[in-house]
Amino acid sequence: MSYKSKAMAYKNIVTKERKVIYNARLTLTVKNIDSANAFITSLVNNYEGYLVTVGNSKTEIRVKSIFLNNTLSDLNKIGTVTNKNVFGQDVTEEYFDNEIRLENAKKARQRYLELLQKAENVATTLLVEKELERLNGEIDIIEGKLKRMNHLTEFSTIDIYLEQKEKLGILGYVFVGLFKGIGWLFVR
CA gap 50, 39 in Å, rounded = 13
What percentage of the chain carries pLDDT values higher than 90? Answer: 63
Judged against a pLDDT cut of 90, whether residue 12 lies above it is answered with: no
The predicted-structure confidence for 47-99, as pLDDT tens digits, reads as follows: 999 999 999 999 999 999 999 999 999 999 998 999 999 999 999 999 999 99
Judged against a pLDDT cut of 60, whether residue 157 lies above it is answered with: yes
pLDDT band at 123 (very low <50, low <70, confident <90, very high): confident
What percentage of the chain carries pLDDT values higher than 70? Answer: 80
Where are the chain's structural domains?
A: 3-90+154-174, 93-151
pLDDT band at 116 (very low <50, low <70, confident <90, very high): confident
Tell me the pTM.
0.74
User: Which residues 6+ apart lie within 8 Å of 21 measured at CB?
Assistant: 88, 89, 91, 149, 152, 153, 156
